[in-house]
Amino acid sequence: MSAVPVDRAVPAPGGGPGPAAASAPPSVWPASALPAPGGDITVAGVSLTGLAERYGTPTYVLDEDEVRARARAWRRALPDAEIVYAAKAFLCRAVVDWIEEEGLGLDVCSAGELELAAARGFPPERIVLHGNAKSPDDLRTALRLGVGRIVIDAESEIAGLAARVEGPGPQQVMIRVLPGIDAGGHRKIRTGAEGQKFGLSIAEGDAEDAVSRILGRPQLELVGLHCHLGSQITTPEPYARAVRRLVAFLARIRDRYGIALRELDLGGGFAVAYRPGDPAPAPVAYARRIDVELLRACHEFDVPVPRLTLEPGRSIVAPAGVALYRVLSVKRSAGRVFVAVDGGMSDNPRPALYGARYAVRLIGRAAQAPTHEATVVGRHCEAGDVLAEAVELPRDVRPGDVLAVPASGAYHVSMASGYNATRRPPVVAVAGEGRSRLLVRRENVEDLLRRDVGL
């Protein structure tokens, strides 16, 4: 097996990225990952093999310093913008604290995520609530807690939200618009094109109708536009196109209604590297292109430059996570090698949902055998329960071995299920030199039985 990649961006004086930071190939491992004796890997000075022994498998490891560093990188890239962490990537109470301490806002999609934030005293004025189908409970909770902005995603939300606002002042809202841009790593995660369940179309006039309806509701204050193009977007160009179309729409709103909306939220979707060689521009690369286009478009359409908001989630937390599994069986069929582990689509549904691909590494022993191509599969009774295809593993991989999957911090635990009554895995934070602590415990049998009240 090869050594842990060391293709790190070189820091410049003052902690900023060095000259090659924006173009250097990203590593799929946290920056603190180092090879250790006996084939082990340490993250933040903590042995991954040791964590697998202590907490069992599957277990998710999250490098706190990596999360914080990536949050700071976004703030440095756009110092005048509002950076709002997309909680759907992964949220727990500790992450709420890290995000608040690093000065980011929080983007939530449900009453549950709102309550998690409230449990840690997160400033509600720095919270954005959106979602294509907000429940009455979502809206009641948002208004009770006093969230800063609510994103209108459908015309039917306007009257319902206005009726719930009790004052004393209006609730600030934005309109999620469809800019008609097709971008993202898979058709199932492309959300900015026409014909989506998300947002209101600019081209078909729905967004402009929503503007008129909101302006007729004194309980609501329209402050800006919101869009989200998709996920795993590997180039800044779609964002530049979205800026131009949204600024043109701002000019149309000004001309028709005589108001200048002061905020523009471009959402998230910034790509991360799941395998060596995957494109994943640094925050500064996105920021430069967006800034240039925003100034150019505002000058051309003669509108005031709005305050920009971005919502990175995956790009902050995914590269900070490593999933640990234990091999249960190895079998060969029709010329293929299948390595089955004790997790699967119940803790990482992404490969089954939209073909996500990962790197995998054996840890805990120094393999002597040459490698061959293998498919890492889960334990569930589904042919689509595949965690990683066409990965190189030693020919002597065997039951009991521990496998590590980097870039696992986003959309794994947050999308985990109880399929086959498996228990959702724990999340362990590592930080500094050799410190670890449990953030989210493993579900146990009592948790499963407590919810089953039908006797």
Active site residues: 381
Is residue 446 part of an annotated ligand binding site?
A: no
Q: Where are the alpha helices (DSSP H) in 232-367?
A: 237-257, 283-301, 314-317, 350-354
Q: What is the DSSP letter of 320?
A: G
Length of the chain in residues, anyone? 455
Q: Are 315 and 268 in contact (CB under 8 A)?
A: yes
Judge whether 180 and 201 are in contact, CB under 8 Å. yes
Q: Which residues does 152 contact at the CB level (< 8 Å), separation at least 6? A: 158, 161, 173, 174, 175, 176, 200, 210, 214
> Are 93 and 101 in contact, with CB atoms under 8 Å apart?
no
Whole-angstrom CA distances from 274 to 27, 63, 344, 409 are 9, 16, 17, 11
Tell whether 358 is in a known binding site: no
- CA-CA distance, 68 to 293, in Å (whole number)? 28
411 annotated to a ligand binding site: yes
Contact status, residue 343 vs residue 57, Cβ threshold 8 Å: yes
Query: Distance between CA atoms of 83 and 252, rounded to whole angstroms?
Result: 27
53 appears as a binding residue in the annotation: no
Does the annotation flag 314 for ligand binding?
yes
Do 142 and 130 touch, CB atoms closer than 8 A? Answer: no
* Residue 313 annotated in ligand binding: yes
Q: Is 311 annotated as a binding residue?
A: yes
Q: Is 286 annotated as a binding residue?
A: no
Best CA proximity match to 99, nearest among 76, 118, 119, 83: 83
The DSSP bridge pattern shows strands 59-63 and 321-333 to be antiparallel
The whole-angstrom separation of Cα 113 and Cα 428 is 20
Beta bridge partners of 300: none
269 is an annotated ligand-binding site residue: yes
What does each C-alpha distance from 174 to 155, 160, 188, 200, 385 come to in angstroms? 12, 15, 25, 11, 39
Output the DSSP codes for 116-156. Answer: HHHHTT--GGGEEE--SS--HHHHHHHHHHT-SEEEE-SHH
Annotated binding site for pyridoxal 5'-phosphate: 269, 311-314, 411
Annotated binding site: 269, 311-314, 350, 354, 382, 411
Annotated binding site for substrate: 314, 350, 354, 382, 411
